[in-house]
A = this chain, B = another copy of it.
């Protein structure tokens, strides 16, 4: 871009170094410093931003790197023979992608950007090498992986709920928590995914999700305007996560 190449490289290097990254504490470098951090930094490559609906990797492609979201967001999903898809996760900054490729050396799912997104690319073979030399890195890698396992478990618990209302409530509460970790306002969600994608993730159809947003708004829980969701009453939302659907909305039976 500029003329003074050396200068610019230094700056861009600095700006994208792990040491200067706001996500440091959530990511691989946590608890790593000094020389070790430089070694990690050396292998982390930045990729040019991925545009909306562009794929980061596809099923079957060889595992070259793990990826950590830096800004923006992605979804991962699998598609079966009939072309039906299941979204496995939405990935926000600080979250890692590509784990399911380690076992077979091939990616199992598709990762696709939901908006313009930047990721840090961590070549897997070199990451393994450095992890052997930096115990804290090995430990932190396992920690980050474990967090992804916990996230899948949350997703499973959500899918186990038999009422659509609980599923959406749980999703929103969880997303709010992830926002908090990122120091964003946990009451003001900007959904990067479409209603279709959200419905698929929740194991519902789009009409149901749409109706639920309307209902939540009528109940005074949310304020919904397209992709912008404001959580008006967190306590009510919390309650909806485990509602035995005593029919708060539909109650025909008398007391």
B156–A103 touching, CB < 8 Å: no
Point out residues on A near B: beta carbons under 8 Å: 78, 80-82, 84, 86, 88, 99-104, 108-109, 128, 131-132, 135, 138-139, 142-150, 152-153, 155-157, 159-162, 200, 203, 205, 242
B101 touches A146 (CB 8 A): yes
Contact of A156 among B143, B148, B159, B162 (CB under 8 A): B159
Assembled-state Cα–Cα distance A246/B38 (Å): 59
* Set of chain B residues within 8 Å of A139, measured between Cβ atoms: 128
Copies in the complex: 2
Contact, CB under 8 Å: B131 / A138 = yes
A131 cross-chain contacts in B, Cβ below 8 A: 138
10 cross-chain pairs, A with B, having the tightest CB-CB distances, nearest first: A102-B146, A103-B146, A159-B159, A86-B160, A152-B152, A86-B157, A103-B147, A160-B203, A100-B149, A102-B142
A-side interface mostly: helix
- Complex Cα distance, B108 from A152, in Å, reads 13
**Contact present for A152 and B153 (CB under 8 Å):** yes
C-alpha spacing A146/B103, complex, angstroms: 5
User: With A128-B135, A145-B102 as given contacts, are A108 and B159 in contact (CB-CB < 8 Å)?
Assistant: no
Are B153's CB and A88's CB within 8 A? Answer: yes
Contact B150 A88 (CB under 8 A): no
A103 CA to B78 CA, complexed, in Å: 26
Q: Which residues on B sit within 8 Å (CB–CB) of A155?
A: 156
